[in-house]
Structure 1
Amino acid sequence: MQSDPTYPAHWEADVVLSDGATAHVRPIQPGDAELLVDFYSRVSDESKYFRFFAPYPRLSERDVDRFTRVDHDQRVALIMTVGDAMIAVARYDRITTGEAEVSFLVEDGHQGRGVATILLEHLAQAARERGVYRFVADVLPDNRKMIGVFAEAGYSVDDRFEDGVVHVEFEILPTDHSLRVMTAREHRAEARSIERLLTPGSVAVVGASRTAGKAGQELIRNIQAGGTGDGFSGAIYAVHPEASSVCGVPAYPSVRDIPGDVDLAVLAVPARAVNEVVSDCAAKGVHALVVVAEGFAERGDEEGRERQAELVRAARANGMRVVGPNCLGIVNTDPAYRLNASLAGVLPPPGRVGLFAQSGALGTAILGDAAARGLGLSTFVSAGNRADVSGNDLLQYWRDDPATEVVLLYLESLGNPRKFSRISRRVAEVKPVVVVKSGRTTQSVPLGHAVRPIGVPQAALDAMFQQSGVIQVETVSEMLDAGQVLAYQPPPAGGRVGVVGNSSALCLLANDAVVAAGLDLGREPVDLGSAASAEAYAEALADLRDDPGVDSLLVLFAPAVESSSTEDVARVLAGVSASGAKPIVTTFLGSRGVPEAMRSLDEQGVPQRGSVPSYPSVEEAVRALTHATWHARWQRRRHGQVPELANVRSNAARERAERFLGGGASVELTHAQVTELVAEYGIDLLPMAPARTLDEAIAAMERFGTEVVLKATAMHLRHRPDLADVWRNIDTEGELRDAWETMSQTLANPAEAAFVVQPMAPGGVPVGVWAREDAMFGPVLSFGVSGLATELLDDRAYRIPPLTDVDAAEMVRAVKAAPLLFGYRGGMMVDVTAVEDLLHRVSRMSDDLPELELLELDPVLVGEQGLSVVNATARLARPALRSDWYARRL
């Protein structure tokens, strides 16, 4: 659209308003003159008066030219559009180097939708990029809405009444409070957008067919049936170019011709016709689209990708969210809706599990497996190519959805891992989240998913899930196994398991499985013998239920010729489970799911808590119980706080980074530059002097005035197994000459080896701290004991900033070599608190500076008191827009 080379295209964003509808934010351009005039004509006189402090009925040509021609630096203006119409504009004009005056104007019909708050976030982000860190504004006292926007933004606002106006000033640097405000608004808006999708009052099937077996007819019939046999509760319409009805549903030539409102449109038309249908839906005021049609980016060609991008652009620009394309559809089992807008022929019963699947084909199999188990669902979304609606959106909705107690996610890609980490942690605090991530070994991305492959190691991805409280499993079957116990049984109070069964072989297997899973046997397994009666089970289970040394129960039942009937034993298990005291899992007849005899049903016949899940094998039952135990522990534990750090100067660090980068795309920092940059975060580097000649080495030793080391810093010579790259404890010129001559002969000439001289650091255990900026993840932190073992065995712990105090403490203790820090075999007990403080400082630095492409602090010598950062390298690069920035965007 734009031809101006200074146009900041990365400021463009699709956003979700407070009512769940979408809009588009972008910088203003000279070509928007007519758009601005039309917008201004729709604004009320009162709003114009609030903006200009005087009657201002129309804009002159000079006004229009001045308002639309900006330099995107000293003068910045962002507009918000819905469809082809501008609905708001926000601007700032720089007053001084770091300060700018801001103003807003929102069309009256769109006020109250969170428009101004979103524009403020994006304007503040643009300002920070341009070196502006303070906003000022004059507001009329009667303009309470705008005063409220500033006051509720989360910044520390200073306002005073002066000369008839309210003068407002505030710093726009992100704060913990402003980020909390932003994320709370984001949560409400995105949850509302999914609520609009899943709770429509009317549905139109576009591409409805009169031919049996066609997708257009299957959709109509599934919506009519509703998945429960009662049918969708709202109005159903069909769109067909010729028919007056399809499957008894009234049909119309286009969405525009439907007489009633349409909340949800399900598109089963050929891909080439989708964009025309989207235009019709936009004109009709449709809230959301489910696109089951294929022929988009999953084709793998440019035409398909462009078609998919245009679908999303057109839908979001007109206030609509999109599920798909190339998807299975959506389901809501709530009796108030009974919506099955999907191609799934078999659905699980209603229940308390929310399920998200990116694959349409696999989604059918997952639904079939869940139905066979009797695992009930609250809602289901198949995202297909996941062009718009994603797992993050569903997490926002499910967090507060009272109908959903457990969340299951099948993910083929992560479009925004940083946001996923943040949202999933908030969800996991109140309900379990179980994830199976395909492509773990290759990190490949399916065709159709418009995301880049993840560049971080698999261990970093695993750490992100664990850090967020997400239960990560290996297979879809394991995901459903975990879902069964989480949905129907109470959380275990601990890891002690009581085992009872009627087979000594099964009891032995259970014993081994419990210990191998990291759980404990609360007491020896109770073997009732093959002829065990239902009464014997009842007595043993009552004893285990009342035993304070047992937290959960594993019941094994294999049929025997002379044993009680399976129905009698099932009733015993159901009765014990109904007490709700402790979770029960079982291998009942080797069945998988929730056997009917052990289901606790509500008045609608829906399985409820107290239903007893069964697994074909002891190992699968223990594995599911282990997942439930891990999550219960995670929920109970303290998650910590991000600490306040002394001697941190983020603004100065940003200025240094910009200065070091200069006009280049990337730069390797010198040791002096690294020293200056990390010092802004309270990190001191041990001094280092280059020694290109022996005379330079001697001069450096004299300058340091203490024992020194001579070492080679060339990358190919560092960390040699024979330690020939470093000569320690040099305190005379003669020793330095010997070291110089020996190392020059052993390694390489001094220039190639990049010799340096450093003061001798106090002794300690060497560790390393690394930070890198990933295009998908943003900053990723890793830690390990320094040396070849760490490199060869990849013994590193990973976390995603910002780190809480608990995160940092766990990170230090997560590596296999951690005992070396805690006096292993009489070794030194090091200052772990200093290590954790260093991790927090690097975490803050990498979080603050997206320009920090790579930082290595290695080695860091940790002593009994304090530590010394012996060596550090860093690389800066022009940052891409982080996927989870300080302004809301889709």
Structure 2
Amino acid sequence: MEARSRNAAERWSPSPEASRVVQQIHTMLHPRNIVLVGATDKPGNYAERIWNNLIKYGFEGGLYPVNSKRETIWGVPCYKDFANLPDKPDHVLVLVPARFAVQVIRNAAAAGARSATIVTSGFSELQDDESQRLAVELQQAIRETGLAVTGPNCLGNLSAGEKLFTNIDDRVVTMEAGPVAIAGQSGAIVMAIRQALEDRGVGVGYMVTTGNEAGLETTDLMNYFAIDPSIRVIVVYLEGVRDTKAFREACKAARAAGKPVIAIKLGASEGGRAAAMAHTGALAGSIESFDAISAREGVIRARGLDELVETTECVVHAELPKGPRLAAVTLSGGKRGLLIDAFSAAGLNFANLSPAASEKLAKMLGPGSIVGNPLDAGFAAVVDPSVYIQSIKIMIDDPDTDIVIIDAELPKATHELRERNLRRVDEMAASAGKPVIYISTMSIGFTEFTKGLRQSLPHIAAMQGLDRAVGAIKALIEYAELAKNVPEIASSSSASARATLERLLKSATGAALDEVSSKKLLKAYGIPVSKEAIARTPLEAVKIAKTIGFPVVAKVVSAEILHKSDVGGVMLNLNSAAEVRKAFDQISARVKKLKNKPKIDGILIAQQVKADLELVVGTALDAEMGPVVLFGTGGVEIELMKDVALAGAPLDAIEAKKLIGRTKAGVKLRGYRGKPALHEASVIKALIGLSNIMADAGNRIASIDVNPFLVNSRAGVAVDGLIVLNNDNAAAKGTGSD
């Protein structure tokens, strides 16, 4: 025990300035002793499996089983309660039934424990009243005692440096403090990720299963891993984000520490979709919103577990590239083609080599050889095997390349030439100043030989499966670019704009602002709107139309009609006074026939804008991630086209341009196939204005839908606007749905 205490004292610990939660997590992952409450030797039960793992891997602290009905268990003394322990409890494993767990937590804290893991299930994951009541009582006990608690309904943790494995997994674990930390709610998925990384020779220093997260959340673990110097990559499994602000702050902490966060995120939020009554909300599912916000904070979202493993392999072993310029060496013309196709499909291209590098390759390969990138060195290497290594060195040394890819898999058994080549490339990569990445175009199984060889090559990434490798390399490039310049953006709205917002929100009575009020707010935030006025009689409608100038548009104004075209509430191309009078009467008659008898405030007579492109711009308050901004192709086929992209709010001009550039609409906006560029500045202004509205409104606006936003070469203008409020009546009120 004394020897272990000295070793622990030599290990890193948080500074006194670190947050209380971070210090708590440290005590949980580096405990003086572990107490198993609910110890039983019933074959195969969780308590016995965890005990066996603690013994097998040699946890050096105290181990104390507790069961009031046993004096011995597993061949060691068993204690009746905390008071009978030979030492003050530190970390407590709760293995008793759910109805006893709350009292165990309180008793543990009273006895001096600092942390606990509640393996027991039977709380908020169940829907019955008793389980829900126990969940509330457990959260209250955790708050009141101040214990660092993971669970309930979890499968335990790993702290490799402490040889601590309070987990039920009986697969082999390498107890070495590796550079990867894993945390997440699903014990089975987190354990599977750890095993897959271990099979690939990637060391895992920490693994924490958080279960129902009644106490510590995955976000808390991210903050801890961000400051632990032994960790270089953070892997998380997220079923949901409870506190967007806390999540973003944790991501920023990881990014500031130079530690990529690689995430698996479960799908879209039904709650978010149900609350969305505008196009923007319907198109902004939570997974897209998660991507929009988390990507800005430096999170790499993997689309599956295989991709997560490849991405982790890549970021653990590859340096951050200075740019996207790719180079590759292969021994096959066919594989050269596969590399070109796969990277091109991902929007990545192979660089033009520098003249010096091209000249060296041409001289080495000989007359008639084709010097290209990717380089097919196969024929020349058959004649002279040294050509292969020399080609790789030229690619690495070329200042016009940022990433060097080698098409080859690791051998499954000893192979003198291939092993020698791998070690020479690893030596080159150590001082290359750029990532060097081996790619096996197909997945192969790692033998124990492969695994050992891989661990002896710390400076190169070894990836499997071309498509997954391409995705991981693209993520590495994007992360490196983000790390250079991370914007901290705040609302840039004026005092008068904020005053208009407060006045309109205060006076709102329904689920949404009507079009007139919506456009007042848009205009206040610098978003250009069409010339228009509201008419309450046919005569007034004609007068307004003549003032604006023909042609005009007529639209019903009602806060209770969200999508006017669905109910015949819009008529276009009105070119005379007679047509305006007729449109006024027809729209009024159609709306009066609706079953819910919506209140009509009048008919809006608006300028009909001639445009070269119909866009949609908008915002939505995602149920998990908060406000996001949307841009894309608009008009009546918006859901069919789904040419949209999202970004976190608020935006500045640089971020707005990036958002526009991620769509086909952005290509058209900037000029396509000889057509002139359109007025992008007005679109950027609209996106910034919309994001400022959401930032200033807090969570009081559910979504803003501007469809269409019409653009020509001279200007852009919002000809429609729908602002849906975030209140209890929002889901129930409204007529029609696009």
Q: Provide the TM-score with structure 1 as the length reference.
A: 0.67
* Aligned equivalent of 1:694: 538
**Does residue 203 in structure 1 map to residue 30 in structure 2?**
no
* Aligned equivalent of 1:372: 199
CA contact 2:267–2:287 (8 Å) conserved in 1: no
CA contact 1:802–1:847 (8 Å) conserved in 2: yes
What's the CA shift for 1:444? 11
Q: Equivalents in 2 of 1:832, 1:861: separation in Å?
A: 11
What's the CA shift for 1:799? 2.0
TM-aligned CA distance change 1:561 to 1:770, over 3 Å: closer
User: Which amino acid in structure 2 is aligned with residue 670 of structure 1?
Assistant: D
Q: Equivalents in 2 of 1:623, 1:853: separation in Å?
A: 33
Alignment counterpart, residue 625 of structure 1, candidates 462, 473, 487: 473
* Aligned equivalent of 1:548: 399
SS at match of 1:613: strand
* Aligned equivalent of 1:581: 433
* Aligned equivalent of 1:289: 116
TM-aligned CA distance change 1:506 to 1:263, over 3 Å: same
**Does residue 871 in structure 1 map to residue 683 in structure 2?**
no
What's the CA shift for 1:789? 3.6
**Does residue 843 in structure 1 map to residue 687 in structure 2?**
no
Q: Report percent identity of matched pairs.
A: 24
CA contact 2:293–2:648 (8 Å) conserved in 1: yes
TM-aligned CA distance change 1:826 to 1:325, over 3 Å: same
TM-aligned CA distance change 1:876 to 1:774, over 3 Å: same
User: Which amino acid in structure 1 is aligned with residue 135 of structure 2?
Assistant: Q
Q: Equivalents in 2 of 1:324, 1:361: separation in Å?
A: 14
Q: How does 1:425-824 map to 2 (within 5 A)?
A: 425-429=252-256, 430-439=258-267, 456=285, 458-522=287-351, 523-529=373-379, 535-557=386-408, 565-587=417-439, 591=444, 609-615=458-464, 617-636=465-484, 638-642=485-489, 645=492, 647-649=494-496, 652-653=499-500, 655-657=502-504, 659-661=506-508, 666-678=510-522, 681-683=525-527, 685-686=529-530, 688-701=532-545, 704=547, 706=549, 709-713=552-556, 725-727=571-573, 730=575, 735-741=576-582, 755-759=603-607, 765-824=613-672
SS at match of 1:388: coil
Cα-to-partner distance string for 1:711-766 (whole Å, 9 max, x where unaligned): 2347698569x9982126x5xxxx22134437867996586796421246585644
Q: Equivalents in 1 of 2:611, 2:332: separation in Å?
A: 59
TM-aligned CA distance change 1:798 to 1:444, over 3 Å: closer
TM-aligned CA distance change 1:309 to 1:554, over 3 Å: same
SS at match of 1:726: strand
What's the CA shift for 1:697? 0.9
Structure 1, unpaired ranges of 5+: 1-19, 22-112, 114-184, 446-452, 881-890
CA contact 1:484–1:593 (8 Å) conserved in 2: no
CA contact 1:835–1:867 (8 Å) conserved in 2: yes
Q: Equivalents in 1 of 2:96, 2:40: separation in Å?
A: 10
More contact order relative to length (CA 8 Å, sep ≥ 6):
2
TM-aligned CA distance change 1:879 to 1:810, over 3 Å: farther
Q: Equivalents in 1 of 2:25, 2:70: separation in Å?
A: 32
* Aligned equivalent of 2:177: 350
Cα-to-partner distance string for 1:802-830 (whole Å, 9 max, x where unaligned): 22443222122222211232233454533
Cα-to-partner distance string for 1:478-509 (whole Å, 9 max, x where unaligned): 10111112112212233333333344443333
* Aligned equivalent of 2:164: 339
SS at match of 2:78: strand
User: Which amino acid in structure 2 is aligned with residue 586 of structure 1?
Assistant: Y
User: Which amino acid in structure 1 is aligned with residue 116 of structure 2?
Assistant: L
Q: Equivalents in 2 of 1:322, 1:653: separation in Å?
A: 46
User: Which amino acid in structure 2 is aligned with residue 569 of structure 1?
Assistant: N
SS at match of 1:277: helix
**Does residue 276 in structure 1 map to residue 103 in structure 2?**
yes
Q: How does 1:828-839 map to 2 (within 5 A)?
A: 828-839=676-687
TM-aligned CA distance change 1:537 to 1:760, over 3 Å: closer
TM-aligned CA distance change 1:828 to 1:640, over 3 Å: farther
SS at match of 1:699: helix
TM-aligned CA distance change 1:441 to 1:508, over 3 Å: farther
Q: Equivalents in 1 of 2:413, 2:141: separation in Å?
A: 67
CA contact 2:142–2:215 (8 Å) conserved in 1: no
User: Which amino acid in structure 1 is aligned with residue 428 of structure 2?
Assistant: V
* Aligned equivalent of 2:23: 192
What's the CA shift for 1:222? 2.1
CA contact 1:327–1:359 (8 Å) conserved in 2: yes
**Does residue 238 in structure 1 map to residue 65 in structure 2?**
yes
CA contact 1:641–1:805 (8 Å) conserved in 2: no
Q: Equivalents in 1 of 2:283, 2:82: separation in Å?
A: 40
CA contact 2:554–2:583 (8 Å) conserved in 1: no
CA contact 1:639–1:806 (8 Å) conserved in 2: no
Q: Equivalents in 1 of 2:548, 2:188: separation in Å?
A: 71
* Aligned equivalent of 2:358: none
What's the CA shift for 1:241? 1.5
CA contact 2:269–2:286 (8 Å) conserved in 1: no
TM-aligned CA distance change 1:233 to 1:648, over 3 Å: farther
CA contact 1:208–1:268 (8 Å) conserved in 2: yes
Q: Equivalents in 1 of 2:445, 2:266: separation in Å?
A: 23
TM-aligned CA distance change 1:262 to 1:805, over 3 Å: farther
CA contact 1:286–1:320 (8 Å) conserved in 2: yes
Alignment counterpart, residue 48 of structure 2, candidates 217, 226, 238: 217
Cα-to-partner distance string for 1:544-595 (whole Å, 9 max, x where unaligned): 2112233223223467999964433333343333334332332469645698
Q: Equivalents in 2 of 1:852, 1:621: separation in Å?
A: 41
What's the CA shift for 1:246? 4.2
TM-aligned CA distance change 1:736 to 1:256, over 3 Å: farther
The worse-fitting range, judged by mean Cα deviation, of 790-799 and 294-303 is 294-303
User: Which amino acid in structure 2 is aligned with residue 385 of structure 1?
Assistant: N
User: Which amino acid in structure 1 is aligned with residue 178 of structure 2?
Assistant: G
Q: Equivalents in 2 of 1:427, 1:863: separation in Å?
A: 43
Q: Provide the TM-score with structure 2 as the length reference.
A: 0.80
